[in-house]
Amino acid sequence: MQSVRDAHPENHAPGRNGYYDLVSPLRFLAIILYMGYLVNVGLLLVLLPWSQAWGMLLTMFPTTYVTVLDQPFVRGLLSAFGVLHLLLVLWELVHPTLLTPTAAKEN
C-alpha cells in the first residue's frame, strides 16, 4: 500500500533513500540562528533609536556624528530597516523558502 507521502510526486527527489527526509539538523540550526538574528536586530533597530539609551550611546561618538545620528530622519531610516528585518521574518513564516530543498523545486 502506498503512503500519502509516496502519492505526491513533488516528494520524490534524489537522496539517500530516494526522498528528502527531514531538514538536516545543521540546516535547521542555521535557519533558527538566522531567524533569531533577524528578530533581534529588527527589534533593536525599531526600538533603540527612540529610547533613552540612544542618547547615552550618542555621547560616545564625536560631535559631527552625533549631529547626523540624532536627526529624526536618520532614526526613522534605522527603524525602517528594522521593520524590513521583521517583515522578512513574517515572509519566511508564511512562505517557508528556507526549509524547502532547492532540488525539489527544480523537478
pLDDT, mean of residues 5-22: 53
User: Locate cell 535557519: which residue?
Assistant: 31
Q: Per-residue pLDDT tens for 25-70?
A: 888 888 899 999 999 999 999 999 999 999 999 999 999 999 999 9
20's CB contacts (< 8 A; 6+ apart) are: 11, 13, 101, 103, 104
pLDDT for res 106: 54
Instruction: Yes or no: say if 27 and 21 are a contact pair by the CB < 8 Å rule.
Output: no
pLDDT for res 94: 87
What pTM did the predictor assign? 0.68
